[in-house]
């Protein structure tokens, strides 16, 4: 994305221990089952039994994810003293505000991933009555934007290592720490489902391209880095490019498919700054030079051009997990 970007000289900002909005937001949302639960809740599901019927995960995993979402304030658990006692999981405003992220993920899956092992219905815009794709625009000038149109710089709480997503959900012991191996949406999870992968994709948008730069800036162990980079290349999100000046060096560049992930990143950054941001200021500041404004992303419908709202989006049908086997 950037030109006046934080990587201009690849200098590492002063070390600031702890996390920032990016590490918290991407850490929290970069989990397949949490995203599924939010999607089901956005579609109106609220009962434990409904979540259980829709997701092929164990009681323990489902309870763990619901507890995390309740603890982080995205979902509220309401108890009713009836006979038999009844409880409901209801989205808070913080939870409801994830709809642009879920919509962007869905739009990217529909546009860029040809084979789905899981039912992936189109999104329907109630306002215009058409199936649509979301388009990211600048909230100030209303022009469509891509990463190439924007410039980013670290804010007061920014920094490479501070922005690496933290681990929010405990993984099952013995798991390999990633949902990619048994995933309904392996492409999304290749980008989003692992703390290092989303850090690498984020850094690639910030124009980090070399193995050694990923390694030193983010502090990724080299073996893990090699694994993650090759997984991102296998999914067609990054590609290796030989450089003209040093033909023995390969650089990692975002492909068109990788660049198209940008609305997911932009909406997640915006959600993170708003809901899990630091009082000391933003982690990253994004500008739209064409209009000179601070960038605030707005999703519009590609069919009617109107601004989307979460309440006006429907899916063709709610997917059912029946007959599928993956588990977390």
Which residues bind to Zn ion, rule: CB under 5 A? 125, 128, 138, 140-141, 288, 291, 301, 303-304
**Minimum gap (Å) between residue 136 Cβ and Zn ion:** 11
**Minimum gap (Å) between residue 251 Cβ and Zn ion:** 30
The answer to whether residues 266 and 5 touch, using CB atoms and an 8 Å cutoff, is no
Q: Which DSSP string corresponds to 268-298? A: HHHHHHHHS-BTTB-SEEEEETTTTEEP-EE
Of residues 138 and 283, the one with the C-beta less far from Zn ion:
138
**Minimum gap (Å) between residue 134 Cβ and Zn ion:** 10
In 3D space, the residue among 130, 75, 78, 123 whose CA is nearest the CA of residue 103 turns out to be 123
Helix (H, G, I), strand (E, B) or coil at 313: strand
Of residues 112 and 132, the one with the C-beta less far from Zn ion:
132
Phi/psi of residue 53, nearest 5 degrees? -70, -30
**Minimum gap (Å) between residue 262 Cβ and Zn ion:** 15
Helix (H, G, I), strand (E, B) or coil at 216: helix
Burial of 82 (0-12, 13-18, 19+ CB in 10 A): exposed
Of residues 42 and 150, the one with the C-beta less far from Zn ion:
150
Q: In angstroms, how far apart are the furthest CA atoms of the chain?
A: 74
**Minimum gap (Å) between residue 138 Cβ and Zn ion:** 3
**Minimum gap (Å) between residue 148 Cβ and Zn ion:** 14
Of residues 138 and 299, the one with the C-beta less far from Zn ion:
138
**Minimum gap (Å) between residue 301 Cβ and Zn ion:** 3
H/E run at residue 75: strand 75-80
The answer to whether residues 243 and 77 touch, using CB atoms and an 8 Å cutoff, is no
Of residues 97 and 303, the one with the C-beta less far from Zn ion:
303
Of residues 73 and 129, the one with the C-beta less far from Zn ion:
129
Q: How far apart are CA 102 and CA 79, in angstroms?
A: 27
Of residues 87 and 309, the one with the C-beta less far from Zn ion:
309
Phi/psi of residue 258, nearest 5 degrees? -65, -45
In 3D space, the residue among 214, 175, 39 whose CA is nearest the CA of residue 109 turns out to be 39
Q: How far apart are CA 209 and CA 251, in angstroms?
A: 5
**Minimum gap (Å) between residue 188 Cβ and Zn ion:** 24
Of residues 74 and 286, the one with the C-beta less far from Zn ion:
286
Q: How far apart are CA 148 and CA 86, in angstroms?
A: 50
């Amino acid at each position: 994305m950037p030109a006046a970007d934080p990587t201009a000289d690849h200098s590492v900002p002063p070390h600031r221990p702890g996390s920032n909005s990016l590490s918290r937001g991407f850490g929290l949302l970069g989990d397949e089952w949490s995203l599924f639960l939010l999607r089901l809740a956005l579609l109106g599901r609220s009962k434990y039994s409904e979540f259980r019927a829709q997701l092929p995960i164990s009681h323990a995993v489902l309870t763990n994810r619901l507890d995390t979402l309740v603890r982080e304030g995205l979902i509220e658990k309401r108890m009713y003293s009836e006979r038999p006692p009844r409880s409901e999981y209801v989205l808070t405003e913080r939870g409801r505000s994830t709809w642009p992220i879920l919509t962007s993920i869905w739009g990217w899956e529909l546009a860029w991933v040809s084979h789905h092992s899981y039912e992936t219905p189109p999104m329907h815009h109630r306002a215009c009555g058409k199936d649509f794709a979301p388009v990211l625009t600048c909230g100030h000038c209303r022009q469509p934007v891509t990463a190439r149109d924007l410039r980013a710089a670290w804010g007061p709480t920014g920094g490479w290592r501070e922005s690496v997503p933290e681990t929010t959900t405990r993984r099952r012991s013995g798991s390999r720490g990633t949902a990619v191996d048994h995933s309904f949406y392996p492409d999304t999870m290749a980008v989003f489902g692992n703390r290092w992968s989303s850090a690498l994709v984020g850094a690639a948008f910030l124009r980090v391209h070399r193995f050694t730069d990923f390694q030193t800036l983010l502090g990724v162990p080299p073996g893990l880095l090699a694994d993650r980079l090759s997984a991102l290349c296998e999914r067609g999100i990054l590609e290796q490019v030989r450089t003209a000046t040093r033909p023995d060096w390969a650089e990692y560049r975002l492909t068109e498919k990788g660049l198209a992930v940008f609305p997911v990143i932009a909406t997640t950054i915006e959600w993170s700054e708003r809901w899990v941001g630091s009082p000391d200021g933003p982690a990253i500041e994004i500008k739209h030079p064409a209009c000179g404004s601070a960038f605030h992303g707005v999703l519009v419908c590609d069919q009617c051009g109107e601004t989307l709202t979460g309440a006006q989006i429907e899916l063709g049908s709610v997917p059912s997990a029946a007959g599928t086997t993956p588990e977390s």
